[in-house]
Each structure stands twice: as structure tokens, then as C-alpha cells.
Amino acid sequence: MTSTTIDAPQNVPLQQDASIIALVGLAHASSHFGHLLLPLMFPVFMKEFGLSYSELGLLMTTFFVISGVGQAGAGFMVDRLGARPLLLAALATFAVASAAASMVTGYTGLLLVAALAGLGNATFHPVDFTILNQRVSAPRLGYGFSAHGLTGNLGWATAPLFFAGLSSAFNWRTAYLAAALMYVGILLLMVLQRDKLKTQVAVAHPDQPVEHSMAFMKLPVVWWCFGFFLLSTMTMAVVQSFSVSILRAMHGVSIEAATWTLSAYMLCGALGMLVGGFVATRSANSDRVVALSMGSAALLLVLCGTGLLGGTLTMVVLASTGFAVGIGGPSRDMMIKKATPKAATGRVYGMVYSGLDTGLAVAPVLFGALMDRGWYGATLMAAALAMSLSVLAALGVGRRSRL
């Protein structure tokens, strides 16, 4: 079967593009919200069910392994079935996972929730980018990628407020029921606006040679893209998982200040993506923009890892790292678009973005070993090294895309 995809329209009303970008952004925010369904309640689970850190860590490994494997497979389904049915199924799965979380009575139930949430998360990137690439006009596509990254960060930022507020006002089980209702509400909205989410599926052309659906995996640029996501995400995982502990251990800052630094990192990332949308729209060399932003972030992490800045300045610089990474976000997505073979959008995005899940699954184990030895500064240095290697991967993607 030879497949085709819709080329992005050139001249469409701003309102139409804005509506599609907003719907995709809301879906992306809900997926990032789902990343934190379980981690935010880890202290509760430890007390309620007597769990260890290792058992809690396995929950997230389960989530990201299923999400990563599922994401690679979801890309093929998007190309064959279209993005819309998979988006609706993903939101329904998150709703079921949230409802199940409200009823768990032990560790087995939590593993089931982690598996369901990972399955729901698997489809979002191939779905989102297929819709954006097919339905948003080319001149506004960079802004669409910017909004996509921005809403993802806002999803992360919203989850702690949502669960902390409802758990304090009611209890943690009620918070999960509210999350399930939220996903049902988003699902209903997508159903009502389903005409804006329709994408073209793969079709056969008898006059064209048949190409195997896995042929794209022979392209070196696809694996360079995968490597980029793997390396760059490992750094993000370090900041999300260990930055609070590192700041407290190296500089003795309060847990409140360290937690606010992590929130500031995510908000700075969102601001960076907003700025990065304008950069991506005007830049002809997306890979170089990505390399510059990631290289800057690596340098900032090295400064933090030296321990010479002191507590306050380290918190400021670490938060600024999020801005540097964020600027490169929309250009990163443009870089992947340029590297994607025509007619393989879902498959390629599913495969390369599974590198994101792989990085999030592997990094806590690798860098956790450094943390266990008390090498806090070295952990940040190692994260900077991974980010530096992602610079080389980005330049490799750009070079092969031009070829």
C-alpha cells in the first residue's frame, strides 16, 4: 500500500486555524496532566498501602514503557484509521484510568492504573502532529507547534494544583473522580468539534509501486530523530525527578523553595515555547535553532552542577534552563516535520516520539544511581552531557534532512 496525506492548507481563515490549534493544545495538555496522575499521590500511596520507593518507581516505569511501545504502534494506526478515533479513544482511556484510581485498594490496582494511563498517553503525539500538519495552514504551523508545547507544560503545571486543592478540600479518591469527569468533559468537547479533527488516512494507488509500511525505518534520519528525543528527554527527567532533592542537598534550600523552582522551570519552558513559535516561523534552519537552545541549556546546567552559584542563583539559573529548552521546542517539531517522509506522518512521529518515553523511563534509573551515591553536582553534569549529545543529534537530523 502506498499512502498519501493531506498537504497543509495555504489560505484559510485565522479562526479555523486557531480552533484546530486550541483543540489539539487542550488534548496535549490533558496528556501531560495524565503523566502526573500517580506521582502526585505517591506520599499518600506510601502511607495508605505501605509501598516502597522501588514499588512506586515501577509504576512510572510501567507507564512509560507501555506509552513508548504503544506510541510507536499508534503511529501506524493513525496513518490507517485517521487521528480522530485514536484521540477519542485515548481520552476515554484516561477517564477510565482516573476512575479506576479512585477505587484502588492496593498495589495491583495501581499497576493497572499505570498501564491504562500509559496506554492512553501512547497516541497523543502521532495524533496531535498528524492533525496539525494536515489541518493547520503552513504559514501558521510554527505557531501551532508553539501552542502545542506550551499547553503541554501548562498541563504539567495544572495537575499539582488540581490534585492538591481537591485532596485538601475532600480526599484523594474524590480528586481522581474529578479527574475522570474532566476527561469525560474534554472527550465530549472533541466529539462536538470532531469535524475539525478529521485527517486523511492511507490509501492505495494501483499505478504506484507498493511500499512496505515499515520502509521508513530504514532511513537513518528517523533514528537520529529518535536519538535526539531520547537524549534531550533524559535531561528533562533529571530536572523533574531530582531537582528538588539536589537543591536541598547542595544548598539546603527549603522544600517549598525547591518545589517552586521546579514549577518555575516548567513555566519558563512554557514562556520559551511561546517565544520559540515566532523563531520557528521565521527560521529556515530549525536544527540550528534547536542546537543553540539545547547547547545553552547544557551550559546552564553545568553552571548549576558546579555548586559555585549558591542556593538562590542556582534556583534562578535552573529555572532559566527551562526557557532555553522551551525556545527550541517549536523548532524541534519543525525539524521533525522536515525529516518526515511524505505519507508516513503518524508512523514517524509515533516512532521518534517514543524516544521521549524511553528517556523518561530510563533516566530515573541511570541518574538515580548517581543520586544514591550523593553525587548531586555530578548528576546535573551528566544531565548536561546528555543535553550536549542531543545537540549533535539535532545537527545530524538537519544534515540528513537537507540531503
Return the pLDDT at 4.
Answer: 40
pLDDT tens-digit map of 199-216: 876 555 555 544 545 555
pLDDT of residue 3: 39
Measured from the Cβ of residue 177, the count of other Cβ atoms closer than 10 Å reads 17
Give residues with Cβ within 8 angstroms of 122, minimum separation 6: 66, 67, 68, 69, 70, 71, 73, 74, 90
Which of 354, 282, 286, 350 has the alpha carbon at shortest distance from 65? 354
Same domain for 146 and 177, yes or no, is yes
Question: Are 292 and 379 part of one and the same domain?
Answer: yes
In 3D space, the residue among 290, 360, 356, 301 whose CA is nearest the CA of residue 329 turns out to be 290
pLDDT, average across residues 357-362: 79
| 334, three cell numbers | 519543525
Distance CA 399, CA 263 (A): 35
Average of pLDDT values for 269-276? 86
Q: Which residues of 380-402 are buried (b: 16+ CB within 10 A; e: fewer)?
A: bbbbbbbbbbbbbbbbbbbebbe
> Are 178 and 242 found together in one domain?
no
Whether residue 4 lies inside any domain: the answer is: no
Segment 168-194 shows an average pLDDT of 94
Q: What are phi and psi of 268, to 5 degrees?
A: -65, -35
29 & 150 share domain: yes
Looking at the structure, do residues 363 and 221 belong to the same domain, yes or no? yes
CA angle, residues 342, 348, 350, in degrees to nearest 5: 140
Which pLDDT score is estimated for 60? 80
CB atoms under 10 Å from CB of 51, counted, come to 17
Number of domains in the chain: 2
pLDDT of residue 148: 86
Sign of CA dihedral 39, 41, 43, 44: negative
Contact 75, 199 (CB under 8 A): no
Which domain covers residue 145, as residue numbers? Answer: 14-197
**Domain identity same for 155 and 256:** no
Tell me how many degrees the CA angle 359-364-365 measures, rounded to the nearest 5: 100
Residue of 336 and 378 predicted with greater confidence = 378
Residue 193 and residue 223 in one domain: no
> Given the C-alpha cell 490507517, which residue does it identify?
80
For residues 19 and 104, membership in a common domain is answered with yes
The upper half-sphere exposure of residue 110, i.e. CA atoms within 13 Å in the direction of its Cβ, equals: 23
Residue 304: which CATH number? 1.20.1250.20
What dihedral do alpha carbons 240, 55, 91, 135 form, nearest 10°? Answer: 40
Residue-wise pLDDT for 246-260, tens only, equals 888 899 888 678 778
Q: Are residues 65 and 169 in the same domain?
A: yes
